[in-house]
Amino acid sequence: MKDKVFRKSLAIPFSLFLVLFIIIPILFIIYYAFTDANGYFTLNAFKEFFTSTTKLNILLVSVLIGLFNTVLCILIAYPLAFLLSNPKINRSYVLVLLFVLPSWINFVLRTGALRDLLSIVLKWFGTTTGQHPLFCTMVGMVLNYLPFTILPLYSTMLKIDYSRVEAAKDLGCNPFKTFIRAFFPQTLPGLISASMMVFMPTISSYVISDTMSEGKIMLFGNSIYLSFSNSDWNSGSFMSLIMLLIIFIAMLATGKFQSESERSNKTW
């Protein structure tokens, strides 16, 4: 009995954290999203958002950039994670650490330094960062979120059962079929985690797009930031709810897909 009480008491700090820093802030967001400046219930923020072509276009552009950045990061990180996890190629954690080290630097400083470096490179070609806002934004996105793509894939590939790969080869599968049927399905959990760690922060970020594009590309995070900085708590809160809804839907979809992939891996 005492052990059960003790174990339950260990959950008190987490419960307090959950209530104070997650549940209560979300309740405040919901309150401001459906009230006006005087605290009366209204759907003005709802109507304003869904009748504003500017805000809807910003959301669409943010989703497209998020998807594009996720695909680019995975295409770059997947072979890198494979090389890093292969003991025949990499026998130490030094190379892995080299990819992680940049993420330890302050986010704003890292982005500003990258912009300055990119501006120097573009000057050699007779152009500036302001003339290529989308290109510069995507470079900033990929380089900032690439470590968060490599690590989940790397940790997943370390646990791969290579006996399945060898079995596929013994059964006559060519390298492509071996990869598709034996190797790739085992990396799906890491692939899903990496996609979530890149896609959602990309949509909600505003420092990278604002710094790298010199303010010419606005993402959904920029729009929320501008609303709050202009004391428009109602519109900013409603857009934050939209962001939470997107995150919730993405988590449901990826969670279901991940559980199915894990189930298929166990029954392979």
The mean pLDDT of 94-112, rounded to a whole number, is 80
For residue 182, the model assigns a pLDDT of 85
Please count the other Cβ atoms lying within 10 Å of the Cβ belonging to residue 262: 14
Q: How far apart are CA 81 and CA 203, in angstroms?
A: 24
Lowest mean pLDDT among 2-6, 10-14, 27-31, 65-69: 2-6
Q: How far apart are CA 11 and CA 19, in angstroms?
A: 12
pLDDT exceeds 80 at position 6: no
The mean pLDDT of 173-185, rounded to a whole number, is 86
**pLDDT bucket at 161, cuts 50 / 70 / 90:** confident
Decide: 227 and 239 in contact? Cβ < 8 Å: yes
For residue 71, the model assigns a pLDDT of 95
| Tens of pLDDT, residues 204-225 | 888 898 889 888 888 998 899 8
Decide: 207 and 218 in contact? Cβ < 8 Å: no
Q: How far apart are CA 203 and CA 243, in angstroms?
A: 9
Q: How far apart are CA 159 and CA 154, in angstroms?
A: 9
The mean pLDDT of 33-37, rounded to a whole number, is 89
pLDDT exceeds 60 at position 191: yes
For residue 267, the model assigns a pLDDT of 52
- 3-state per-residue secondary structure call for 54-67: HHHHHHHHHHHHHH
Q: What are phi and psi of 4, to 5 degrees?
A: -65, -40
Decide: 67 and 199 in contact? Cβ < 8 Å: yes
pLDDT exceeds 60 at position 127: yes
For residue 2, the model assigns a pLDDT of 61
For residue 49, the model assigns a pLDDT of 92
Helix 133-157 and helix 107-124: axis angle, to 10°?
Answer: 120
CA nearest neighbour of 192 among 149, 147, 254: 254
Decide: 190 and 157 in contact? Cβ < 8 Å: yes
| Tens of pLDDT, residues 46-91 | 999 999 999 999 999 999 999 999 999 999 999 999 888 887 776 6
**pLDDT bucket at 22, cuts 50 / 70 / 90:** confident
For residue 266, the model assigns a pLDDT of 55
Query: CA torsion, points 207, 209, 215, 217, in degrees to nearest 10?
Result: -150
Q: How far apart are CA 152 and CA 80, in angstroms?
A: 12
Which tokens belong to 207? 């420092």
Decide: 161 and 186 in contact? Cβ < 8 Å: yes
pLDDT exceeds 70 at position 153: yes
Which tokens belong to 192? 């899903």
**pLDDT bucket at 256, cuts 50 / 70 / 90:** low
